[in-house]
Amino acid sequence: MSTEPALLLALDLAGTFAFALNGALTAVRVVRLDIVGVVTLGMITALGGGIIRDVIIDYLPPATFSDWRYLAVAAAGSLIAFVFGQRLDRMTGTITMLDAAGLSLFAVTGASKALDMGLGPAQAVILGAITGVGGGTVRDVLIQRIPTVLRSELYAIPALVGATITVVATRTDIYGLPLALGAAVVCFGIRMVGVQFGLNAPGPPGRRRG
């Protein structure tokens, strides 16, 4: 069964919006950029994962460039974050939560789209994870941080879990709105629990973590 296109689009745009807010707030808070820098970083964070996904699955030009809603949503999210970002209390928590939301939604839509384009299940899981972590990784490279996906908190694992649920559900013909949202919620939950409790994946054997 192919995923309902409208569902996929809605989730994809929601992820785009979350990452646009996240990238733009990061620019306001961490790097203190001006409006062009803020909107640029917001749009790159919002669109980066999907562009990487679409290049790999050979869906070119990427959805970002064939459907105006992606650009509009990414620009709107970035501008909103620029305008309201200064008034925000608890900025760091908000930034982390928006990142987790984007990660979760994109892991699900990336895996779905990969299956729709004929990729195998393992590849679809990996591609879902790449879609989820892609925008944030480009964001971190541009502002010279070691990307979150490499640092120790749980980040790639929830994306892989969300993508796996999506692939299994699609293969067993039970995919649909509740399941897609469920997969995203599971991914989001694992990520936020990891952030909350500072849980990390295990380090190499024979070494103590400081």
| Residue numbers at the binding site for a copy of itself (CB under 8 A) | 27-28, 31-38, 40-41, 51, 55-58, 60-62, 65-66, 68, 71, 82-83, 85-87, 117, 119-120, 122-123, 126-127, 137, 141-144, 146-147, 149-152, 154-157, 200-207, 209
Q: Which is nearer to a copy of itself, 57 or 101 (CB)?
A: 57
Enumerate the β-bridge partners of residue 200: 153
Minimal CA–CA distance to 52: which of 140, 128, 146, 161?
128
For residues 79 and 160, what is the distance between their CA atoms, to the nearest angstrom?
Answer: 31
Which ranges of 57-171 would DSSP assign to H, the alpha helix?
63-66, 68-84, 91-116, 121-142, 156-171
26 backbone dihedrals φ, ψ, rounded to 5°: -60, -40
For the bound state, the minimum distance from the C-beta of residue 181 to a copy of itself, rounded and expressed in Å, comes to: 25
- Cα–Cα distance for residue pair 23/16, rounded to 1 Å: 10
Please, which residue, 15 or 134, has the CB nearer to a copy of itself?
134
Cα(120)–Cα(153) distance, rounded to whole angstroms? 28
Least separation in angstroms between residue 175's CB and a copy of itself is: 21
Minimum CB distance to a copy of itself smaller for 174 or for 193: 193
Choice between 2 and 174, CB closer to a copy of itself: 2
**Minimum CB separation from a copy of itself for residue 177, in Å?**
27
